Amino acid sequence: MPAGPAPKTSSPLSTDQIAPEREQAQPAPLRTPAAPRTRIPSRLVGRAPAPAPGTVLHSVSGATAVMLGLVAIGAALHEPVLIPPLAASAAIVHSVPGLPLAQPRSVIAGHLLCAAVGYAGLAAFGSSPWVAAVAAGLALAVMTLARTPHSPACATAVVIVLRTPDPRTFVPLLAGAALLIVLAGCALSRARRTGTRYPQYWW
């Protein structure tokens, strides 16, 4: 019988054909993710809104004027009227007049309540830094309960305990200085005619 056709055998692949297949089989190299970019300048600047034009000038001029007035009153009476708590109060009233702690009720009543706490601690335990620290904490509690939040007034209790001023002269001067700060804030608000009105409420 005649022999049938010989079976076809596949020819071996050439190296030119194998190389592309190996290249396709190799996985793609992993890419290292890029490090996230940190916005250092924006973080340094912060997210607080920029002050409106003219606000800084009005705030600084108003606070400086009222503090100079307190110095003049103290020089005329030969009594130190400008104390650190009142300087902080003037800064708050003239820089953030819309906050609750800047309103007349908080400024005046806050200082008087803290003065009462300071004199009570001084009478009960004497002058001591330990007593001053406790008096400041109690003064904060009293202001919170009385709804007269004014953080600078806590320092009034500290000043009283550490410096032991005569209440017959210190308390009237303290009340008058707090009232002067409030009235100066009202005058500046009327003169400015723009921005946050002061006071938002009196009592």
Contact 92, 102 (CB under 8 A): yes
> Distance (Å, rounded) from C-alpha 201 to C-alpha 203?
6
pLDDT for 192: 77
With left for phi above 0 and alpha for psi between -120 and 50, is residue 30 left, alpha or beta?
beta
82-100 per-position pLDDT tens digit: 999 999 999 999 989 999 9
Instruction: Indicate yes or no: pTM above 0.85.
Output: no
153-165 per-position pLDDT tens digit: 999 999 999 999 9
> Distance (Å, rounded) from C-alpha 105 to C-alpha 84?
20
What value does the mean pLDDT of the chain take?
A: 84
Which pair of structure tokens corresponds to residue 104? 């007349």
pLDDT band at 167 (very low <50, low <70, confident <90, very high): very high
Measured in degrees and rounded to the nearest 5, phi and psi for residue 91 equal -65, -40
pLDDT for 87: 95
179-194 per-position pLDDT tens digit: 999 999 998 888 877 6
30-46 per-position pLDDT tens digit: 565 555 555 556 666 66
Integer CA distances (angstroms), 50 to 42, 53, 60, 189, in order: 13, 9, 16, 20
